[in-house]
Amino acid sequence: MADDNSNIGITVQQGEVDSCLVDSNLLGLLVNSQSNVHDNTVNFSKSSGIQVNGGESIVSDNTVSDSGTLQSASGVIVPSAGNRITHNTASGTAGPGIQVTGSFNTIDDNSTFVNTGIGIVVAGSKNTVVRNSSTGNVNQAASTNYSIDAANNAGPITAANAATNPWGNTQ
């Protein structure tokens, strides 16, 4: 358990963080290259819940809630390249649920809901964005669930009750 640190709750470099509770830190989890971050719960980070700075990492099955209490920040932020972000849940953040600015990442089967920012933001290039669910996110008083730059490979975005494409993203 990493609780109430004035800086980073847990930092990992070429390692694994599994089944941890990370609560009330400045930054919840800092993930450097070639790491596996799996099945963690990150709550009440004052900035981002999980930040992926290095490439070749897998961030999966994590739950991030109520991050960005000090500054508008993301539940999961990925400024790096070549990572797999899969099956995570981000809710109640003061910024985007998941934000990717790096390239060549896979964003697959994540869920974002009730974030103050856009649910899933992908601003980098050559990222693959498929099978995600994003709903109830509010950005500047408008419901905005996805913002994906055209330089990425994204499945279609459709309403969940009208989805027919197995690679589609729903809202």
Lowest mean pLDDT across 53-62, 89-98, 142-151: 142-151
d(C-alpha 130, C-alpha 110), whole Å: 9
pLDDT-derived band of residue 141, with 50, 70 and 90 as boundaries?
low
> Which token pair is 148?
């994906």
pLDDT in tens, 74-129: 999 999 999 999 999 999 999 999 999 999 999 999 999 999 999 999 999 999 99
Closest residue by Cα to residue 76 from 50, 53, 94: 50
- Interatomic CA distance for residues 84 and 108, integer angstroms: 8
Digit-coded pLDDT (tens) for 6-29: 889 999 999 999 999 999 999 999
Q: Report the predicted TM-score, pTM, of the whole model to 2 decimal places.
A: 0.94
Residue 158: its pLDDT value, please?
93
> Quick one: pLDDT band at residue 71, thresholds 50, 70, 90?
confident
